[in-house]
């Protein structure tokens, strides 16, 4: 009995739905026809409005067919309609889709005749030229002498039908709404049937809200059971698809956050829709990014003008510019690309490359080439001058030839030292330096270096001192490179001190390494831990000292405090730079302390052999 009642109620619901559907469908068909007529009239008015806007460009060019043809083609690129310009005799002057010279006379076209009579002509017919149904709208072109021609705009009927499809969809939605109401009423009438239907509707709502793990209990009625199984299958597939989308979104987010370039995307209102971690770091780590206006995050005129330039670009052209940010100081190379969906501008994508270090290295390279060229040119010029003097006759005068050759020899030796220093610096910076580390007693190495300079120090009344404790641990270093470090430091001290004392001292210490400073000084070689024992070696002099403004740059290549005096004593300007790199290659640190009139202390650390 319950089954019979269920079937009866089902038939009642179905019958009610059929009757209501037929009534609603009939009303919809009855209403659709006049609505379509209204829609066609609105489309015709829209075409007429476009034609009148085009007329201002077309009328001045009626006497210039070639220019008129170009303008018509250009208009065709901006609108979806076909454009034709016809003179009073029906001859086609310009056509957007075909060669006007191949087209027949249009004087017999109804819309053209209406336009020549001073009215707006509208016609819907088959076009032999393009082979499809078109809606034609023609307007008269009026000049000083009256009607001089006709401007006709045509739109394929397919476009019109698409516009009418919106009306049909609206009617369809209305029918669906009415049928929905009918379903509710029918279900209300058949309560026993409504219970399982209500359960499935609730389950479908939970699925729409994201609860895809719930499943619907299969009811006993076969028709409803089939629907329940379909909804369960749909939930399973949606759950799989959601997992796939979440994984894809996570992969995309990981890629964006892992990029070394900054990425910013903005909408047409220049509101940020995407900003990765690198971009946030470039413009301040506290910026929120998404949802903010670009001008709130990027306060730089060149970047904002780049976005404006990119928005004006067409054809997907990439705009690029290099900008310098004042705070924090950095140089960014920015590529901007307009984002388009069809012909609509939907935003701008900017990619930021941090080229600060690259530009700094370029400046260093340029300065190095300029300085090296200058340092080589000076002795070469002197050598050339003395050689020319010798060749002109001074070679035959022994009293003059020998001093000249001695000068040539000194400058040649200076060039040799410069080339040797350049090669050493190149090998160190290029990673081609191989250190043969071994335990070395510092006192013996330092004594050998001081012995090389005792004669030069006595000539300048300079006392050389050595202060190395006898129980000081051996250092782990390359003997030749350690001697090179000490030779450079002692040589500088003896050269620039007119009298007084130069002392080489050593002591045991445990360093605290500042990784940030090491990075800024372009460290090479391995850094050691702060638990390792080090020996600090210091070369002190009582010379004129170094100004505090020059201390930060004293280890740069070719940097000199007093250029005239440096050349006078024969320095290459590379000694301290080589010392810095050699010390770092051993895993140590270099510090320079100086005071004007009090002298200079250059200290470096080396690990102990233990």
User: Could you tell me if residue 50 is inside a domain?
Assistant: yes
- In this structure, are 326 and 230 located in the same domain? no
Report the pLDDT value the prediction gives residue 294, as an integer from 0 to 100: 82
pTM of model > 0.75: no
Question: What phi, psi does 436 have (nearest 5°)?
Answer: -100, 85
Report the pLDDT value the prediction gives residue 385, as an integer from 0 to 100: 82
Residue 604: closest CA among 446, 433, 439: 446
Could you tell me the sign of the dihedral formed by the alpha carbons of 363, 369, 373, 375, in that order? positive
The pLDDT mean for the chain works out to: 78
Lowest mean pLDDT among 399-413, 441-455, 524-538: 524-538
End-to-end CA distance of the chain: 101
Q: Kindly tell me if the per-residue pLDDT of 583 is higher than 60.
A: yes
Q: Kindly tell me if the per-residue pLDDT of 58 is higher than 90.
A: no
CA distance 593 to 552: 10
Lowest mean pLDDT among 183-187, 230-234, 242-246, 380-384: 183-187
- In this structure, are 391 and 445 located in the same domain? no
- Domain limits for position 394: 358-427
Interior angle at CA 420, CA 414 and CA 426, nearest 5? 135
CA distance 424 to 445: 21
Lowest mean pLDDT among 27-41, 465-479, 559-573: 559-573
CA distance 444 to 429: 29
pLDDT digits (tens, 9 = 90+) for 526-546: 444 455 789 999 999 988 888
- In this structure, are 211 and 124 located in the same domain? no
Paired residues of 509 in beta bridges: 534
Report the pLDDT value the prediction gives residue 607, as an integer from 0 to 100: 92
- Tell me if 23 sits within 8 A of 181, measured CB to CB: no
User: Could you tell me if residue 478 is inside a domain?
Assistant: yes
Give the strand pairing for 344-354 and 330-341.
Answer: antiparallel
Q: Kindly tell me if the per-residue pLDDT of 65 is higher than 70.
A: yes
C-alpha count within 13 angstroms, C-beta hemisphere, residue 170: 11
- Tell me if 62 sits within 8 A of 93, measured CB to CB: yes
Report the pLDDT value the prediction gives residue 519, as an integer from 0 to 100: 44
CA distance 333 to 323: 6
Place of tokens 């086609």: 92
Out of 354, 373, 398, a domain closes at 354
Lowest mean pLDDT among 71-75, 125-129, 133-137, 587-591: 125-129
CA distance 50 to 46: 6
Average pLDDT over residues 225-235: 79
- In this structure, are 467 and 593 located in the same domain? yes
Long-range contacts of 436-441 (CB under 8 A, 24+ apart): 436/478, 436/479, 436/480, 437/476, 437/477, 437/478, 437/586, 438/476, 438/477, 438/478, 438/479, 439/474, 439/475, 439/476, 439/609, 440/474, 440/475, 440/476, 440/477, 440/479, 440/482, 440/609, 441/474
* Most confident of the ranges 267-281, 397-411, 510-524: 267-281
Give me the CATH number covering residue 216. Answer: 1.10.8
Report the pLDDT value the prediction gives residue 536, as an integer from 0 to 100: 94
Characterise 59 by phi-psi region: left (phi > 0), alpha (psi -120 to 50), beta (else). alpha
Give me the CATH number covering residue 345. Answer: 3.30.450.20
pLDDT digits (tens, 9 = 90+) for 115-144: 888 888 888 877 766 677 788 888 898 877
Question: What phi, psi does 262 have (nearest 5°)?
Answer: -80, 140
- In this structure, are 460 and 408 located in the same domain? no
How is residue 514 written in tokens? 């500042």
Report the pLDDT value the prediction gives residue 314, as an integer from 0 to 100: 62
CA distance 551 to 537: 19
Give me the CATH number covering residue 583. Answer: 3.30.565.10
Q: Kindly tell me if the per-residue pLDDT of 9 is higher than 80.
A: no
How is residue 452 written in tokens? 């090389």
Q: Kindly tell me if the per-residue pLDDT of 568 is higher than 60.
A: no
Report the pLDDT value the prediction gives residue 603, as an integer from 0 to 100: 94
- In this structure, are 237 and 270 located in the same domain? no
pLDDT digits (tens, 9 = 90+) for 252-307: 778 777 777 888 888 888 888 888 888 888 777 656 677 788 887 777 788 888 88
Report the pLDDT value the prediction gives residue 571, as an integer from 0 to 100: 55
- In this structure, are 219 and 350 located in the same domain? no
Average pLDDT over residues 341-370: 79
Out of 367, 397, 427, a domain closes at 427
What percentage of the chain reaches a pLDDT higher than 90?
9
pLDDT digits (tens, 9 = 90+) for 377-399: 777 887 888 788 888 777 777 77
C-alpha count within 13 angstroms, C-beta hemisphere, residue 608: 17
User: Could you tell me if residue 213 is inside a domain?
Assistant: yes
Looking at the 3D structure of the chain, how many domains does it have? 5
Can the peptide bond before residue 328 be classed as cis, meaning omega within 30 degrees of 0? yes
What percentage of the chain reaches a pLDDT higher than 70?
79
Average pLDDT over residues 64-79: 82
User: Could you tell me if residue 184 is inside a domain?
Assistant: no
Average pLDDT over residues 409-431: 74
Long-range contacts of 332-338 (CB under 8 A, 24+ apart): 332/262, 332/282, 332/356, 334/303, 334/306, 336/306, 336/307, 336/309, 336/310, 337/310, 338/310, 338/311, 338/313, 338/314
Report the pLDDT value the prediction gives residue 527, as an integer from 0 to 100: 47
User: Could you tell me if residue 179 is inside a domain?
Assistant: no
How is residue 365 written in tokens? 């390279």
pLDDT digits (tens, 9 = 90+) for 448-463: 999 988 888 888 889 9
User: Could you tell me if residue 134 is inside a domain?
Assistant: yes
CA distance 124 to 137: 9
Out of 325, 354, 383, a domain closes at 354
- In this structure, are 603 and 521 located in the same domain? yes
Helix H, strand E, coil C: the string for 371-392 is HHHHHHHHHHHHHHHHHHHHHC
The per-residue DSSP string of 542-596 comes to -SS---TTTGGGTTSTT--SSHHHHHHHT--S-HHHHHHHHHHHTT--EEEEEET
Average pLDDT over residues 598-610: 89
Report the pLDDT value the prediction gives residue 359, as an integer from 0 to 100: 81
> 334 in helix, strand or coil?
strand
């Amino acid at each position: 009995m319950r089954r019979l009642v269920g079937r009866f109620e089902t038939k009642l619901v179905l019958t009610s739905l059929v009757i209501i559907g037929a009534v609603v469908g009939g009303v919809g068909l009855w209403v659709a026809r006049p609505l379509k007529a209204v829609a066609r009239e609105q489309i015709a008015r829209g075409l007429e409005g476009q034609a009148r806007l085009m007329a201002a460009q077309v009328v001045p060019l009626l006497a210039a067919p070639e220019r008129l043809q170009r303008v018509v083609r250009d208009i065709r690129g901006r609108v979806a309609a076909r454009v034709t310009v016809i003179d009073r005799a029906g001859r086609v002057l310009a056509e957007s889709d075909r060669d006007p010279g191949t087209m027949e006379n249009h004087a017999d076209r109804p819309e053209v005749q209406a336009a020549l009579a001073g009215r707006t002509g509208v016609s819907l017919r088959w076009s032999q030229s393009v082979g499809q149904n078109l809606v034609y709208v023609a307007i008269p072109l009026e000049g000083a002498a009256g009607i001089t021609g006709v401007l006709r705009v045509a739109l394929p009927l397919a476009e019109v039908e698409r516009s009418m499809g919106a009306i049909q969809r609206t009617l369809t939605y209305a029918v669906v709404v009415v049928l929905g109401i009918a379903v509710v009423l029918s279900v209300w009438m058949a309560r026993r049937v409504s219970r399982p239907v209500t359960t499935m509707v609730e389950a479908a709502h939970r699925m729409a809200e994201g609860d895809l793990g719930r499943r619907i209990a299969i009811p006993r009625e076969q028709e409803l059971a089939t629907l329940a199984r379909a909804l369960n299958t749909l939930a399973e597939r949606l759950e799989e698809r959601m997992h796939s989308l979440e994984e894809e979104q996570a992969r995309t987010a990981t890629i964006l956050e892992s990029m070394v370039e900054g990425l910013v995307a903005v909408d047409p209102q220049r509101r940020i829709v995407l900003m990765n971690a690198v971009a946030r770091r470039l413009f301040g780590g506290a910026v929120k990014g998404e949802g903010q206006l670009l001008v709130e995050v990027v306060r730089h005129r060149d970047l904002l003008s780049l976005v404006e330039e990119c928005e004006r670009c067409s054809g997907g052209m990439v705009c690029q510019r290099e900008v310098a940010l004042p705070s924090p100081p950095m140089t960014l190379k920015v590529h901007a690309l307009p984002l388009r969906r069809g012909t609509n501008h939907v935003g701008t994508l900017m990619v930021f490359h941090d080229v600060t270090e690259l530009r700094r290295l370029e400046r260093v390279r340029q300065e190095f080439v300029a300085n090296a060229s200058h340092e080589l040119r000076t002795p070469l010029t002197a050598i050339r001058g003395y050689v020319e003097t010798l060749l002109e006759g001074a070679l035959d005068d022994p009293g003059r030839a020998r001093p000249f050759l001695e000068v040539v020899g000194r400058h040649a030796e200076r060039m040799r030292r410069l080339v040797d220093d350049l090669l050493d610096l190149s090998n160190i910076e290029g990673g081609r330096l191989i250190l043969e580390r071994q335990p070395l007693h510092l006192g013996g190495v330092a004594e050998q270096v001081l012995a090389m300079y005792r004669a030069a120090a006595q000539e300048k009344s300079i006392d050389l001192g050595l202060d190395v404790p006898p129980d000081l641990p051996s250092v782990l270093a390359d003997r030749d490179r350690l001697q090179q470090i000490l030779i450079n430091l002692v040589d500088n001290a003896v050269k620039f001190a007119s009298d007084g004392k130069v002392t080489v001292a050593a002591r045991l210490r445990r360093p605290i390494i500042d990784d940030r400073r090491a990075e800024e000084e372009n460290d090479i070689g391995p850094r050691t831990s702060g638990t390792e024992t080090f020996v600090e070696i210091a070369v002190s002099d009582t010379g004129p000292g170094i100004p505090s403004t020059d201390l930060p740059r004293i280890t740069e290549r070719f940097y000199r405090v007093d250029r005239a005096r440096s050349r006078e004593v024969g320095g290459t300007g590379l000694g301290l730079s080589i010392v810095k790199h050699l010390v770092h290659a051993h895993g140590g640190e270099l510090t320079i302390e100086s005071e004007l009139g009090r002298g200079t202390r250059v200290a470096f650390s080396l690990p102990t052999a233990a």
